[in-house]
């Protein structure tokens, strides 16, 4: 692989044109629309990724075989009598279920009218009902789950009683465990609301291909690819700008993301796409040290430095996200804070950690943000915490730096970055460590 050309916005890669995992005819679900094809077209590849991960990925298998079993209080049972051409569904209590796998759905509510579980329709939801009246995203999720081999799925608006505040608080506190213990998370990544669905249509030619001649008379096909494709299609997609979704993606064991141009797979051992089914080349996945790491984000870190760096990445990205209700900001982070606290002997303090707290207090708002940064009017977190701000923040890098010498470099950089040489005053920093 060779870095071929750059401009101020993108880095392009010249790489051998990949072949798919196996040669086979297109499935009957192949949906052609003129020169376009739908992302519904390769369910065999989704299943292949899931099977390979479940059967041969040691890190992922270890999560599947945890001694402690967990099931959500409620699940949706997917019912079909025609091989998946149409679906019925019903709400079930998990108390009578044993040794089952379930999937979850990550989606944007948006402006669409969602089917909801409410007190008045609770008993009705426990009877088999056609999925025809559900939002398209839910119907698509049933199809995907069925193709992956799942009989049960968890969807927030149909598994939490929406007009019962006590039930919402109880279920919201378990949200991290629900996604952490699901066998696969289905993400409607490109969709802005439930009417869009999981599947999109895309142009058949996703990249530019050229042929190069090599002696003696050998010709190879190469393609240009944009390094920002993965970042733009996943990190910047509508779904991943929502605050609740961050812990869903972090805690999921496996995630199947339905993006604008193709389907992506993420687990602890493989990041793949329809274009690169055996794994996306590392050069095609951005790695910004201040934002999420390349590939599937997790909190599985081996040492203190990695954990601190990982938390900073998480905070910086999380602060960019939006909430329909800003009061959810701390609740939606609780599952990640709980997992981090299990890996280290430390105390969680409103988005920060007690050990070396002084090194975390120098966070700042992002002055290059495209949105306003506001102090949250009602109490959500102490004012010394970044969580008291509604808007993007940048964490203090000294929190995860390895040694005092490196910290001195940060101190010098901070001094140079805020020293205003064009004005009549200068701000100086004094060592605090």
* Confidence (pLDDT) at 354: 93
Contact between 174 and 40 under an 8 Å Cβ cutoff? The reply is no
In this structure, are 294 and 319 located in the same domain?
Answer: no
In this structure, are 183 and 256 located in the same domain?
Answer: yes
414 located within any domain: no
pTM for the model? 0.82
In this structure, are 292 and 396 located in the same domain?
Answer: no
In this structure, are 252 and 380 located in the same domain?
Answer: no
CA distances from 123 to 116, 117, 126, 260, 378 (A): 13, 10, 5, 37, 37
In this structure, are 249 and 395 located in the same domain?
Answer: no
In this structure, are 282 and 322 located in the same domain?
Answer: no
180 located within any domain: yes
Residue 374 structural domain: 308-400
Burial label for 289, CB within 10 Å (0-12, 13-18, 19+), is exposed
In this structure, are 329 and 197 located in the same domain?
Answer: no
The residue out of 298, 330, 360 marking a domain boundary is 298
* Confidence (pLDDT) at 11: 46
In this structure, are 169 and 26 located in the same domain?
Answer: yes
Separation of alpha carbons 180 and 251, rounded Å: 5
The residue out of 253, 269, 298 marking a domain boundary is 298
* Confidence (pLDDT) at 6: 42
422 located within any domain: no
432 located within any domain: no
The residue out of 298, 328, 357 marking a domain boundary is 298
In this structure, are 338 and 265 located in the same domain?
Answer: no
214 located within any domain: yes
237 located within any domain: yes
The series of mean pLDDT values per 10 residues for the chain, 433 residues long, is 41 51 36 57 95 94 82 96 93 90 93 85 95 94 97 97 94 93 96 91 66 78 75 88 93 95 94 91 67 75 82 90 90 92 90 90 83 81 92 82 47 42 36 33
Rg (CA), the chain: 24
- Count the domains in the chain: 2
139 located within any domain: yes
Burial label for 82, CB within 10 Å (0-12, 13-18, 19+), is exposed
77 located within any domain: yes
In this structure, are 268 and 348 located in the same domain?
Answer: no
Can you spell out the DSSP letters for 238-279? Answer: SGGGBHHHHHHHHH-SSEEEE-SS-EEEE-SS-EEESSSTT-
In this structure, are 226 and 327 located in the same domain?
Answer: no
In this structure, are 294 and 312 located in the same domain?
Answer: no
* Confidence (pLDDT) at 186: 98
């Amino acid at each position: 692989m060779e870095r071929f050309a750059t401009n101020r916005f993108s880095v392009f890669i010249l790489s051998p044109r990949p072949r798919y995992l196996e040669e086979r005819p297109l499935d009957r679900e192949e949906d052609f629309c003129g020169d376009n094809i739908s992302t519904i077209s390769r369910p065999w590849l989704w299943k292949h990724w899931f099977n390979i991960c479940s059967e041969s990925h040691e890190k992922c298998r270890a999560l599947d075989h945890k001694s402690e079993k967990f099931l959500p209080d409620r699940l949706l049972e997917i019912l079909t009598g025609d091989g998946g051409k149409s679906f019925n569904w019903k709400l079930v209590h998990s108390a009578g279920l044993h040794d089952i796998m379930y999937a979850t759905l990550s989606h944007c509510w948006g402006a669409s009218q969602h089917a909801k579980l409410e007190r008045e329709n609770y008993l009705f939801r426990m009877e088999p009902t056609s999925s025809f009246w559900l939002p398209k995203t839910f119907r698509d999720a049933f199809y995907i789950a069925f193709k992956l081999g799942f009989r049960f799925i968890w969807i927030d608006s149909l598994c939490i009683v929406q007009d019962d505040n006590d039930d919402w608080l109880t279920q919201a506190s378990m949200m991290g465990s629900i996604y952490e213990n699901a066998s696969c998370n289905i993400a409607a990544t490109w969709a802005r609301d439930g009417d869009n669905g999981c599947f999109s249509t895309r142009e058949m030619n996703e990249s530019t291909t050229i042929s190069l001649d090599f002696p003696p008379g050998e010709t190879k096909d190469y393609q240009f690819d944009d390094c920002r494709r993965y970042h733009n299609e996943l990190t910047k997609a509508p779904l991943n700008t929502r605050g609740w979704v961050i812990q869903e993606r972090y805690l999921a064991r496996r995630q199947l993301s339905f993006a604008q141009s193709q389907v992506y797979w993420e687990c602890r051992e493989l990041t793949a796409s329809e274009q690169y089914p055996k794994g996306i080349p590392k050069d095609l996945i951005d790695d910004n040290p201040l934002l999420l790491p390349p590939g599937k984000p997790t909190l599985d870190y081996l040492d203190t430095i990695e954990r601190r760096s990982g938390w900073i990445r998480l905070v910086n990205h999380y602060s960019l996200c939006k909430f329909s209700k800003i009061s959810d900001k701390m609740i939606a982070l609780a599952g990640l804070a709980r997992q981090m606290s299990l890996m280290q002997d430390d105390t969680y303090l409103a988005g920060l950690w007690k050990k070396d707290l002084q090194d975390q207090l120098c966070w700042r708002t992002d002055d290059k943000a495209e949105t306003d940064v506001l102090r949250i009017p009602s109490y959500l977190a102490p004012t010394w915490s970044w969580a008291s701000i509604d808007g993007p923040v940048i964490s203090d890098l000294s929190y995860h730096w390895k040694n005092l010498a490196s910290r001195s470099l940060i101190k010098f950089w901070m001094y140079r970055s805020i020293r205003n040489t064009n004005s009549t005053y200068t701000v100086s920093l004094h060592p605090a460590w």
